[in-house]
Amino acid sequence: MNFAVLQFPASNCDQDALHAVVGVLGQQGRLVWHKEESLAGFDAVIIPGGFSYGDYLRTGAMARFSPIMQPVQKFAAEGKPVLGICNGFQILCEAGLLPGALVRNRSLQFRCEHVFVKTVANDSPFTAQIPADKLLRVPIAHGEGCYFADEATLEKLKANGQVLWQYVNAQGEATEQSNPNGSLSNIAGICNEARNVAGLMPHPERACEPVLGSADGRLIFESLLGWMTARAKG
Amino acid sequence: MSNIVAQMKAKIIVTPKKAVVDPQGKTVQSVLEHIGFKGIGAVHVGKYLEIELPDNDAAGWQKRIDEACHKILSNPVIEDYQFTIE
């Protein structure tokens, strides 16, 4: 499979994301500069973390209008997989590809630590291979990761099973203490209604090898790869 | 090439929606109270933007600035905006 890892001015997890899919999973892939205007030949898009455009105005607000985002909209509309990590999640929300928004952490602190997340819905391209009771230990590094959506949107997300991951404690409970940023319902990641576009604040690409302290993040990329392979076979 | 001389300005204020928790506002409020400004209500921290406009077409700019506010200068999911053109 061929992965496009988008690169905006001030993306800073682009190399890590590329390493996860090429170096760890052994797939094809390359960085795609934000001024490029085509995603021809790619099977999946990863929008990596960072501080695109210096987070000016709002996180993800400027990146949303980069030339590459037109083909991303089309790519997503065709049902192909798009994964936004951290700043990538923020960009997808700004672009309207995912509902809601990410706002300032309730603590006002930049949080940089490992957290546990529970997979809430296993029936998505991004979660299908994650064992039901497996908690993922993955790092977060963000100042604006507090997920917000109005009540109606939140209800719809839950009813449709679009909440993919929740922050939990080591026992798997979604408590207030285990919520690092004040996200509504401890939401760490969601997908769209069609389930082919997902975003999450934690960094699975930084947790794909034991040498990094956790290889749990790899399950997300392996899920995606499995889904893409099955889809390609028709 | 002539420099554009501002004839009017759009003055835009973007504020967090009431339903969105505003930890900055809460922190500013508590510090204000701490340093003696007792009896104040909630504080909301927003953004102020000024855009220089090259002509006096207030009605035309009203529509375009509104579009800009909706499209990029604010995020309607979490923010409200208001503006004047003068």
The whole-model pTM stands at 0.94
Q: How far is A119 from chain B (nearest CA, A)?
A: 26
Q: Which of A59, A104, A146, A176 should one mutate to test binding to chain B, selecting the residue with the greatest count of B CBs within 10 A?
A: A104
Put simply, whether B20 touches A (Cβ < 8 Å) is yes
> Quick one: B45 exposed, middle or buried, by C-beta within 10 A (0-12, 13-18, 19+)?
middle
- Give the number of other CB atoms < 10 A from CB of residue A36: 15
* Series of mean pLDDT values for 10-residue runs along chain B (86 residues): 77 95 92 96 95 94 97 97 97
pLDDT tens-digit map of A148-158: 999 999 999 99
Amino acid (1-letter code) at residue A206: R
> Mind telling me the catalytic residues of A?
86, 203, 205
Put simply, whether A104 touches B (Cβ < 8 Å) is yes
pLDDT tens-digit map of A43-84: 999 999 999 999 999 999 999 999 999 999 999 999 999 999
The two structure tokens encoding residue A73: 């909209």
Name residue, tokens 């933007």. Answer: B49
Tell me what pLDDT residue B3 has: 67
The two structure tokens encoding residue B33: 């109270």
Which residues of A13-154 form beta strands (DSSP E)?
A: 28-33, 44-47, 82-85, 101-103, 111-119, 135-142, 146-148
CA distance to A48, A120, A196, per residue, from A110 (Å): 18, 25, 29
Q: What is the C-alpha separation between A26 and A79, in angstroms, rounded?
A: 24
pLDDT tens-digit map of A173-217: 999 999 999 999 999 999 999 999 999 999 999 999 999 999 999
Contact criterion met (CB below 8 Å) for B83 and B65: yes
Give ipTM to 2 decimals. 0.86
Q: How far is A69 from chain B (nearest CA, A)?
A: 15
Question: In this complex, do A57 and B73 lie within 8 Å of one another by their Cβ atoms?
Answer: yes
DSSP string, A45-68: EEE--B-GGGG-SSTTTTGGGSTT
Question: In this complex, do A103 and B73 lie within 8 Å of one another by their Cβ atoms?
Answer: no
Contacts of B72 in chain A (CB under 8 A): 57, 61-62, 65
Q: Can you give the C-alpha Rg of chain B in angstroms?
A: 17
